[in-house]
Amino acid sequence: MTTTTDDVRTPETATSMEDAYLEYRKACSLIVLKHAEERGLMAALSTPKTVDELVAEQGYLPQRVPILELLLKALERLDAVQRVDGGATRYVRNDAVKSDDVEIDADLVATAIGVDQVAPLLHGQNYGGIVDTLNQPTNPIGADFSAANIAVWEEFLQQPFYRFARQHAVRSISKPGANVLDLACGPGFGLLELVEEVGEDGHVVGVEISRDFVAEALRRTEEHPNVRVAQANLDEGIPFLRNNYFAGAMLIGAYHFLTRPKVLFAEAVRVLQPGGRLCVGYVYSKRGSADQEVMDLRFALREPPSTPPRPEDIVGLAEEQGLTKVDELTMGCFTSFVFQWA
């Protein structure tokens, strides 16, 4: 937890924020366990069972088998479920681990997501929907990028751990008087942070695929005449932007939704000035960190679908376009890279 002296907070470091973030994800896993207990899954695992046996016994939908498998892996990471060796893979509950007995550092969770949200997180129903999807064809936790979900996304995008990653990008690519680009700018929080850095003499351009988010970003930045926002699909490129115009560009929290990531790096090199920087931040990645299983579970139900790349694959695609990695930030299974174009 950040220390305070006379109400002055000590800024979080990359290490302290990652520690807080991981404790938050531990709390998320604990919520999954709690709902697995309440909905009978843990009772069903009083004796070892295969996935197929659980589906038959509990009436889970066959199309939800991939979700059930990820759920069991998340519970295994928490040590609430153990894998039984021999023949077909079977899972059994660990009676020594129950949701009421797992300790969570509320101060660390508060650092990650905000003090006022700790109690609702630990006692709410937010992650119960994951277990519910095993029995129902609809997805209650998809939250696509439409107007109906703007409030949900705005709350998430302002979580301290996510804001930390975004502001790391903002500081990495911007300076007073610069032209900067925010790709997948969402409802505009990054645009406001960038315009504060570049000042009145700089220019900020946002690109966003969701028309609803474009409208929200325009509303949020309407008092800043040096901010522009365009609607476009990054997988199809950004040909409407000028060559060598931007000193910096960033893509935060959206790389894993791209289906053609090569296009991103090629277009970044085209629009950046020599020496310009690109930050690809908060990328859901395959890192094997303590939050990997619960985030694999969460993203399996995310709409639109996403694919977690390996960090080395991201670096490889960037290097193919002549970009050099100059900085890296990790937050569990999420990775942020800063690249420079020579």
Separation of alpha carbons 170 and 156, rounded Å: 18
Using one digit for the tens of pLDDT, what is the confidence trace for 36-59? Answer: 999 999 999 999 999 999 999 999
Residues 155 and 296 placed together within one structural domain of the fold: yes
Residue 112 in any domain: the answer is yes
Residues 160 and 124 placed together within one structural domain of the fold: no
Quote the domain boundaries for residue 132. Answer: 4-141
Residue 9 in any domain: the answer is yes
Q: What is the CATH number of the domain that holds 21?
A: 1.10.10.10
Residues 299 and 157 placed together within one structural domain of the fold: yes
Residues 188 and 207 placed together within one structural domain of the fold: yes
Residue 30 in any domain: the answer is yes
pLDDT beneath 50: ranges in the chain: 1-7
Contacts of 241 by beta carbon, 8 Å cutoff, 6+ apart: 181, 205, 207, 267, 271
Tell me which of 91, 106, 141 is where a domain ends: 141
Using one digit for the tens of pLDDT, what is the confidence trace for 313-338? Answer: 999 999 999 999 999 999 999 999 99
Using one digit for the tens of pLDDT, what is the confidence trace for 80-122? Answer: 999 997 778 999 999 999 999 999 999 999 999 987 666 666 5
Please report, as a single letter, which amino acid is at residue 224: H
Residues 47 and 164 placed together within one structural domain of the fold: no
Residues 137 and 203 placed together within one structural domain of the fold: no
Residue 66 in any domain: the answer is yes
Number of domains in the chain: 2
Residue 236 in any domain: the answer is yes
Residues 111 and 31 placed together within one structural domain of the fold: yes
- Identify whether the C-beta of residue 332 lies closer than 8 Å to the C-beta of residue 291: yes
Task: Please name which of 21, 234, 276, 266 lies closest in space to residue 145, comparing C-alpha atoms.
Answer: 234
Residues 274 and 306 placed together within one structural domain of the fold: yes
How many beta carbons lie within 10 A of that of residue 123, not counting itself? 10
Residues 66 and 176 placed together within one structural domain of the fold: no
Residues 85 and 42 placed together within one structural domain of the fold: yes
Tell me which of 141, 159, 177 is where a domain ends: 141
The confidence score (pLDDT) of residue 323 equals 98
Which residues are bridge partners to 248 per DSSP?
180, 277
Separation of alpha carbons 233 and 193, rounded Å: 23
Q: Is 268 left (phi over 0), alpha (psi -120 to 50) or beta?
A: alpha
Residue 301 in any domain: the answer is yes
For residue 73, count CB atoms less than 10 angstroms from its CB and return exposed for 0-12, middle for 13-18, buried for 19 or more. Answer: middle
Residue 146 in any domain: the answer is no
Tell the residue number behind the tokens 């095993």, with chain if given. 134
Residues 40 and 127 placed together within one structural domain of the fold: yes
Please report, as a single letter, which amino acid is at residue 72: L
- Identify whether the C-beta of residue 281 lies closer than 8 Å to the C-beta of residue 169: yes
The confidence score (pLDDT) of residue 88 equals 86
How many beta carbons lie within 10 A of that of residue 114, not counting itself? 15
Residues 307 and 276 placed together within one structural domain of the fold: yes
Separation of alpha carbons 157 and 195, rounded Å: 18
Tell me which of 141, 171, 187 is where a domain ends: 141
Q: How many CA atoms are closer than 13 Å to the CA of 253, on its beta-carbon side? A: 23
Separation of alpha carbons 73 and 334, rounded Å: 19
The confidence score (pLDDT) of residue 6 equals 45
The confidence score (pLDDT) of residue 139 equals 78
Q: What is the CATH number of the domain that holds 221?
A: 3.40.50.150
